[in-house]
Every structure is written in structure tokens, then in C-alpha cells.
Amino acid sequence: MVQLSRLAFIGNSLPRRCGIATFTTDLQQAVAASDPAADTCIVAMTDHGHAYDYPAAVRLQVKDDQIEDYVHAADFLNAGQFDVVALQHEFGIFGGDAGGHIIALLSRLTMPIVTTLHTVLPDPTPMQRIVLNRVIELSSRVVVMAEKGRELLRRVYAVPAEKIEVIAHGIPDVAFVEPDQAKAKLGFAGRPVILTFGLLSPGKGIEVVIDAMPSILKSRADAVYVVLGATHPNLVRDQGEAYRESLAARVRDRGIEDNVVLLDQFVDQATLLDFIAMCDVYVTPYLNEAQMTSGTLAYSFGLGKAVVSTRYWHARELLAEGRGILVPFGDAEAIGREITGLLTDDVRRQAMRRRAYATSRSMTWPRTAERYLAVFARARRERRFRVIAQPDQFVPSSDGPAAPELELGHFLSMCDDTGLFQHAVHSVPDRSHGYCIDDNARALLVVCALNTPHDPRLPEPLTARLAAFVQHAWNPDTKRFRNFMSFDRRWLEDSGSEDSHGRTLWALGECARSDTSASRRRWAVSLFAEALPTAESFRSPRAWAFTLLGLDAYCAVVADDPLAEHVRHTLADRLMAILSAVETQDWVWFEEGLAYDNARLPQALIVTGMAMASPAFVDAGLRTLHWLMALQTTPAGLFRPVGSKSFGDRRTLPQPFDQQPLEAAATISACLAAWRADDDAEWKAGAARAFDWFLGGNDLSLSLVDPETGSCRDGLHPDRLNENRGGESVVSYLLGLSEIRQIARLSERRAKFVPRLA
């Protein structure tokens, strides 16, 4: 995996008083704690006319109005050979029109940039749009903290979906506590406390809560509203303390001086956490819905507070489904009613608190840092394959695994004048089970894989028979391929499974690309195009994956098929969607359980991402394959495929038996795709480990392969080999062997070429 040794964060930094400074400092510290081996630092933006006693983590400061400082910062970062730069973007913290000075820095950097957008404007000015579009263009990835940010980037700024990451605002990882101890510490013992904190400025809606206090006091006369925060420095510079004074006057006018406390303080985190801990209700009464994120809301929610908020974007997402209470903008009556309801209903308030705390555990700074580090690693990796290298553009790493000679005797004996038999009794073809499109499609894949100068070519009549089987399987009435055929050539169904249809499309795509016969290539293109539309309605993830593998080959030879490109986008997006819905830190997979041909799902995303120059697809494929490989490797370093007895088990460690050749072949293919994309030796080692399973590198130390005939046993039981040697097993072995031989050849060729890097 990509190792990150040096990371730089550009943004404001504490002790500067603003939310961006707090966020940048917290993020840098969280990443440093998550990866102590990495050297992290901050390039701090300093506002005009101010000076700060920055901590040691700040290696350089940029005066926001000095363009030469931006250029110097770029030179500093390039000379320091930082792996990734993480930019915190807010228009107001950079100099120039719409903060445009930052472009002078970003455009000079030689490393990937990951930009966190703290604001995404739905109606930017022309200059704001120009600047933000340029920032996004220069960034490898952009991070937003809410789904609304993703939606705006897609709709308003036309940012590709694969370039956008949503990572929630980080929060301190503290225990769920009752407020009594903190109240006593801060002088509010025994009183119901309502809290708002943050830099004070118009638009925060503090006056609306002040207006609501008289109604709250009717039910809880001892309640107190604490407003914690210094006045925003920009407001002080322009207007002094006029706004704070207007709030104090409002309190006096309503005669509630004993129930409203305006604390002009910018406190450290420990003190802030005490203030949050003591409150019974936290309120964010912002007056504008276009609030993409609120650190104050995230912190209070994360500490398990009952929250009443206006319906700005961040609050709508975070407090949905009963996790808090949303009220209209500027509605003092509604705010008063909802706060009163919480202060007078302990059971409801406590339930809301616990729901918020439980929901927020994924937002803690350690978890947030892990997600950022993953994005940084992906951005770094993207730089290595932004121009996707073809096999003859690789450079050497190490010698490829040794590969046995190809022996085709058993494969040929399993074929007759109809096609490839499904099963065998020992090594004798079993006619009673007839044929299936699944195995004949795989056999056609073997034919295509062996169409190289380095491998023995299969007889032309056999290739024609396999193609004829596929053609005969096509049912134009149902627009589906039939699957099972009896020995007397009777189809046993009108339509086969979605997976068998997808696998046949895969074989047709490879035939269109690799068959030695030009006429058969044209046939494959035609039948593929006719059968493809049906796949768009499929629900099986494996059918999607097989179809994507076929599309990878088909689109390489048919470059102007808009339907094919549409289906490719659609199916890849579906795999990404189910991964997003299921994936957790411990379960990095597309489904709640594992089944057969597992590695084909990551493989499909990797090859699709490479073809479409979509790092998001490639990264998802690499990430899931890495997790699967770890799961399929024993403590002794042997390959142990997911056993058939655990297929479909929900989020449980897979059972080791029965082990099947199909899984080893899929793993080899996926590792080869990953090696081409990532250039990491672990993938080549993983392919070698999976192939060694065929030869005895398995739990029983028994070879499944007869090297003289090329036959392969059907699987590994807990105590013995399955001595039957059917069609699926032999084609799985031959496909795996052909790809291991390909890895060996590529390893030799790498010594002669230099990679094209972005």
C-alpha cells in the first residue's frame, strides 16, 4: 500500500480565532496521532495586520495579502518533497479577488492536493466560480462534510462524482457524561442550561433565542442561556463591539439579565468541552440555510447533547430521523416551544442525547483522521496512474512467479462436438449432466487467453464449437442466454441466471478483442451488442462485475457505442453504491456476506477505473481486494479461499471448506489487474500465493493438478481432495495458469520500459 511520510496542511491555525483554524489544527493533530511515523505540519494563513504565536507544527506562515508568500510556500512544499498537501478552503481566508491568491500556490505544487471545501456556494459570483473551479481542477480529490456539498458540486460546478469525498466534521472522542459535574465547575449548578458557542456575528441568530427566553422561563424560571464566544475578529475590526452590545441591550429590554450570560471568551478545547458537557440543550439558531457545515453543531452533537437547530443544510442532515429538533428560521416561538419541551421532558431529552452520541461515534477525530489518510493515500496513488500504463509501459520490480507448462489434454477430453461437459467422474467426462453456458463461456475465455505467441493455441474447430454453443444459447425471444443443456442437446430452460448472462457477455467481449478470426470477432461484437441491454436491469452484483469485464474488452474495440458506455457507468456506479452502503472499517465489502467468484467484483472496478481513468473506481477495487486478500490468507501465509459452506453468511469469518478452483482463478485475475494499476509487489505475491494453492500451497499440502494432463480436481474438502475433475475446475486452472505466465512475461518486459507518470 502507499506509504505517506510527509503531509502538509494549508489553512488557518490556532491560536488564530476562527473555525478554520480550529479545524486545521484538530485535523493535523488527529492525523499525526493516527500515523505517528508521518511528518505532518501546517502552512498557516495569517490575516493582514495580525501576528500569532504559532505552535511548532506551523512550519511556515503566509500573509494573506502578499502574493510572493504564496509562491514561497509552494517552493517550500516542493523542496520538502511532501507526499500530499491538504488544503482547507474558505474564500475569506485567502487574499485576492474571491481568494484567488491561493491559485499561485496550488498551481506550482508538484504533489497531489486534497482540498476540503468548508463552503460550497449555490450561487457564486463569476469570480468565485472561476476561483473555485480552478481549485477543484488542481485538486486530486475534494472533500465536503455533508451530502449537500456533494450535490452542489455535481449540480452547480459539474465536478465528477468520483472526485468527491464526503467526510463528516471531526469531533473529540470523549465519554458520554451527565452535565451536573461540569455545571458545578462552571458556576451553573442546579440550573437548566441552554448553550450556543462560537465566534459572535450577525447571522448566528442569537437574538432569536434571546427573544424566546421569556416563553421558556414560564416553564423553567431557573433556565439560563449561555452564549460563549468572542466577537468575530473581522467584525471587531469593522464595527467594534456594536453587535455584542446590541445583544446585551436586547437582554435588558426583556428583563432577563439573570437568565442570559454573554461570555466574551475564545476558550481552549478543554474549557470548551466543559461548557458543552454542562448544557442540557444546545441551540444553533443560524438565519441562513446555506450553512454547509457547523463545527459547533458537530461538537455538541458528538458529545451527546439534545440539539434544537434551524433548518440549515448541515443540521438537516445531521439531525434527521429524530437525532435532534429542527425549527424554522427566525421563529422565536418555535425555538421557545421546542427548548421548553426538552427541558421539561427528561426521558425524551435523555433518549435524544443517547441517540446523538451513538450516531456520532464514526465522526470522532481518530476515525476522521483514518478516512483522510485513506483519501491522501488514494490521491498519492492516483498520481502514479493518472496516465494509465499499458503492460509494455511497466518497469521492473522483481521476477514473476515460475509457471508450469500448459497441458491441454484433459481440457480437450472434456469437450465433444457440442461443447465442454459440466462434470466428470474422476477424470472421465460425465455425460449425464450435459453442458452449461457458464462453463462454455469460461472455455471461450481460455481460448482468448491462449491467443498469444507464447502459448499453445487451441484447435480452430474447438473454438468454433464453443462459439456455436454460445450462439445457440441466445434466446432472442427472452433476450437472455439459456444456461443448462442436456446431453441430447435439449435446453432445460428459456433463460439462464443473471450471472450466466453476465459471464457470457464477458466471454463475448474477450472474443471480440482477442479471437484470431476476424469473422468471429465481428460475430462477437454483434451478439454482445444485442445481449448487452438486458444486463442493465440485473440485480446481481456478480452479473454486473462479469458484464463490466466484458465491457472492458468490448469498448476497447468498439469505441463509439454510447449504450455500452452508459451501461459501463451505470454498473460501476452500482457497485460503488452498494460498497458505500455496506462498507465499514471492519467489513470492506460490497455485500453483507461473501459468496463465489468474490475477487471478480474488485477486478471489475479496477479494470473499469483504468479504462475510464477513474481513480475512485480503481481505489475501491484495490481497497476491497486488499481486504479480501487478508481474509483469504492463513497465518502461515497460504491462500485459503472462501469455502462454499459459508457462502452468504452475514459478516462472519468465512468457513475454510469446501475450497474451489474458481476462487483461486478469480483472485489471480484480480491481483494481476491490481498490479497493473498499483505497481505494488504485494499484488504479484498475492497472485503467486493463489496459484500455488493449485500446486499444493494449501491447507492440506495436496496438489489439485495433474501436470501431465492439465486436469484439476474440483476442490478441497476438510480431509481430502475432491477427485472429480469437471469443466469449471479445468478452465479455472488454465485461466489462472495463463495469467501467471503473463505476469512472468510482464516482469521480464518491465526491465525494458519506463513508466509514464503524471
Q: How many helices (H) and strands (E) does the chain have?
A: 27, 22
Residue 401 has pLDDT above 60, yes or no: no
Residue 748 pLDDT: 64
One-character DSSP codes across 42-62 = EEEEE-TT------TTEEEEE
Rounded distance between C-alpha atoms, residue 23 and residue 32, angstroms = 14
Residue 390 pLDDT: 32
User: At the fourth CATH level, which superfamily is domain 6-170+366-380?
Assistant: Glycogen Phosphorylase B; (3.40.50.2000)
Rounded distance between C-alpha atoms, residue 132 and residue 457, angstroms = 56
Cell of 280: 442540557
Average pLDDT over residues 209-223: 96
The residue that leads in pLDDT, 539 or 560, is 539
Rounded distance between C-alpha atoms, residue 436 and residue 487, angstroms = 10
Q: Report the range of poorest mean pLDDT among 46-50, 260-264, 421-425, 619-623.
A: 46-50
Rounded distance between C-alpha atoms, residue 300 and residue 129, angstroms = 33
Residue 403 pLDDT: 65
Residue 758 pLDDT: 33
Residue 204 has pLDDT above 50, yes or no: yes
Question: Grid coordinates 449555490 are at which residue?
Answer: 122
559's CB contacts (< 8 A; 6+ apart) are none
One-character DSSP codes across 663-695 = HHHHHHHHHHHHHHHH--HHHHHHHHHHHHHHH
Question: Grid coordinates 451527565 are at which residue?
Answer: 178
The residue that leads in pLDDT, 19 or 234, is 19
The residue that leads in pLDDT, 386 or 69, is 69
Which phi and psi (to 5°) does residue 56 adopt?
-65, -25
pLDDT class of 2 with cuts at 50, 70, 90: low
Average pLDDT over residues 258-267: 91
Residue 386 has pLDDT above 70, yes or no: no
Cell of 110: 508538484
Burial of 252 (0-12, 13-18, 19+ CB in 10 A): exposed
Q: Report the range of poorest mean pLDDT among 12-16, 199-203, 587-591.
A: 199-203
Average pLDDT over residues 580-592: 93
Residue 384 has pLDDT above 70, yes or no: no
Q: Where does the chain hold its CATH 1.50.10.10 domain(s)?
A: 386-750
Question: Grid coordinates 452475514 are at which residue?
Answer: 650
396's CB contacts (< 8 A; 6+ apart) are 747, 750, 751
- At the topology level, CATH places domain 180-362 in Rossmann fold (3.40.50)
One-character DSSP codes across 267-295 = --HHHHHHHHHH-SEEEE--S-S-----H
Given a contact cutoff of 8 angstroms between Cβ atoms, the answer to whether 261 and 225 are in contact is yes
Share of the chain above pLDDT 90, in %: 71
- At the topology level, CATH places domain 386-750 in Glycosyltransferase (1.50.10)
Burial 107-125, CB ≥16 within 10 A → b, else e = eebebbbbbbbbbbbeebe
Question: Grid coordinates 421548553 are at which residue?
Answer: 340
Given a contact cutoff of 8 angstroms between Cβ atoms, the answer to whether 639 and 664 are in contact is yes
Rounded distance between C-alpha atoms, residue 700 and residue 482, angstroms = 37
Residue 493 has pLDDT above 90, yes or no: yes
Residue 749 pLDDT: 54
Which phi and psi (to 5°) does residue 751 adopt?
-65, -15
Residue among 58, 57, 61, 127 nearest 91 (CA): 127
476's CB contacts (< 8 A; 6+ apart) are 530
Given a contact cutoff of 8 angstroms between Cβ atoms, the answer to whether 275 and 329 are in contact is no
Q: Where does the chain hold its CATH 3.40.50.2000 domain(s)?
A: 6-170+366-380, 180-362
Own/partner long-range contacts of 338-343 (Cβ < 8 Å, ≥24 apart): 338/308, 339/194, 339/212, 339/216, 339/281, 339/283, 339/308, 340/215, 340/216, 340/218, 340/219, 340/220, 342/280, 342/281, 342/306, 342/308, 343/192, 343/194, 343/216, 343/219, 343/220, 343/223, 343/280, 343/281
Cis status, amide bond into 15, omega within 30 of 0: yes
At 94, which amino acid appears? F
Average pLDDT over residues 537-542: 96
Given a contact cutoff of 8 angstroms between Cβ atoms, the answer to whether 203 and 287 are in contact is yes
Given a contact cutoff of 8 angstroms between Cβ atoms, the answer to whether 665 and 599 are in contact is no
Average pLDDT over residues 308-315: 93
Average pLDDT over residues 108-116: 94
Average pLDDT over residues 741-756: 59
Residue 313 has pLDDT above 60, yes or no: yes
Average pLDDT over residues 14-40: 93
Cell of 277: 458537557
Residue 452 pLDDT: 75
Share of the chain above pLDDT 70, in %: 95
Residue 394 pLDDT: 29
Residue 400 has pLDDT above 90, yes or no: no
Strand order of the sheet with strand 484-485?
421-425, 428-436, 484-485
Cis status, amide bond into 658, omega within 30 of 0: yes
Residue 707 has pLDDT above 90, yes or no: no
Average pLDDT over residues 362-389: 78
Instruction: Encode pLDDT of 658-703 as tens digits.
Output: 999 999 999 999 999 999 888 788 899 999 999 999 999 998 889 9
DSSP helix, strand, coil percent of the chain (3-state; round to 5): 50, 15, 35
Most trustworthy range by pLDDT among 218-222, 389-393, 553-557, 647-651: 218-222
Could you give the angle at which helices 661-678 and 365-385 cross, rounded to 10 degrees? 80
Rounded distance between C-alpha atoms, residue 49 and residue 64, angstroms = 10
Rounded distance between C-alpha atoms, residue 383 and residue 202, angstroms = 43
Given a contact cutoff of 8 angstroms between Cβ atoms, the answer to whether 43 and 59 are in contact is yes
Residue 207 has pLDDT above 90, yes or no: yes
Q: Report the range of poorest mean pLDDT among 258-272, 463-477, 562-576, 619-633.
A: 258-272
Given a contact cutoff of 8 angstroms between Cβ atoms, the answer to whether 183 and 278 are in contact is yes
Residue 718 has pLDDT above 50, yes or no: yes
Half-sphere exposure of 751 (CA within 13 A, CB side): 7
Rounded distance between C-alpha atoms, residue 320 and residue 249, angstroms = 35
Number of C-beta neighbours around residue 364 at 10 A? 18
Residue 587 has pLDDT above 60, yes or no: yes
Residue count of the chain, please give it.
Answer: 758
Rounded distance between C-alpha atoms, residue 141 and residue 85, angstroms = 11
Residue 646 pLDDT: 74
Given a contact cutoff of 8 angstroms between Cβ atoms, the answer to whether 169 and 292 are in contact is no
Cell of 564: 455500452
Residue 392 pLDDT: 32
Residue 82 pLDDT: 95
Given a contact cutoff of 8 angstroms between Cβ atoms, the answer to whether 577 and 634 are in contact is no
Given a contact cutoff of 8 angstroms between Cβ atoms, the answer to whether 484 and 548 are in contact is no
Average pLDDT value for the chain: 90
Residue 402 pLDDT: 53
At 699, which amino acid appears? D
The residue that leads in pLDDT, 635 or 579, is 579
Rounded distance between C-alpha atoms, residue 264 and residue 323, angstroms = 30
Element of type H or E holding 10: strand 6-11
Residue 741 pLDDT: 87
Residue 404 pLDDT: 77
Residue 289 pLDDT: 87
Burial of 295 (0-12, 13-18, 19+ CB in 10 A): buried
Which phi and psi (to 5°) does residue 308 adopt?
-115, 125
pLDDT class of 751 with cuts at 50, 70, 90: very low
CA Rg value for the chain: 31
Residue 185 pLDDT: 95
